[in-house]
């Protein structure tokens, strides 16, 4: 008996790339933080440290904005699929769970990145 191969569903086709984009942006922000740590410890001059911090902040902001756009697309796809006449409730729940998982991971790295600004109030994401 050969294994059954399921064809990709509408929702998985619409959201897979965007979920990968969110995960990729999360990894990029983590990597930027590691690089920034290395740069800050290697260069004790305050003006150079600030330059490194500004550069990393710009890259983090771009990655986070890309993730936000991908998140919006997946959320829209979920809403559209939920309204579809032949909706698969199990698939919708799985996709919502996966989206919540990548969102939580992104918020965690953004919280860690925000702690680089000692003059700013602590970031506490809403649930």
- Residues 69 and 25: beta-carbon distance below 8 Å: no
pTM (2 decimals)?
0.81
Enumerate the domain spans of the chain. 10-114
| Residue closest to 53 by CA, chosen among 36, 28, 73, 34 | 36
- Domain 10-114: CATH architecture, name and number where available: Orthogonal Bundle (1.10)
The predicted-structure confidence for 91-111, as pLDDT tens digits, reads as follows 889 999 999 999 999 999 999
In this structure, are residues 116 and 39 in contact, taking their beta carbons and an 8 Å threshold?
Answer: no
The Cα–Cα gap between 11 and 15 comes to: 6
pLDDT surpasses 80 at 37: yes
């Amino acid at each position: 008996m050969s294994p059954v191969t399921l064809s990709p569903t509408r929702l998985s086709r619409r959201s897979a790339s965007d979920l990968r984009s969110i995960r990729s942006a999360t990894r990029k922000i983590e990597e930027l933080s590691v690089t920034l740590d290395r740069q800050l410890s290697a260069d004790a001059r305050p003006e150079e440290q600030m330059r490194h911090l500004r550069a990393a902040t710009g890259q983090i902001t771009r990655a986070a904005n890309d993730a936000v756009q991908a998140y919006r697309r997946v959320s829209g796809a979920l809403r559209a699929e939920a309204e579809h006449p032949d909706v698969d409730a199990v698939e919708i729940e799985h996709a919502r769970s996966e989206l919540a998982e990548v969102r939580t991971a992104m918020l965690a790295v953004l919280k860690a990145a925000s702690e680089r600004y000692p003059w700013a109030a602590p970031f506490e994401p809403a649930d």
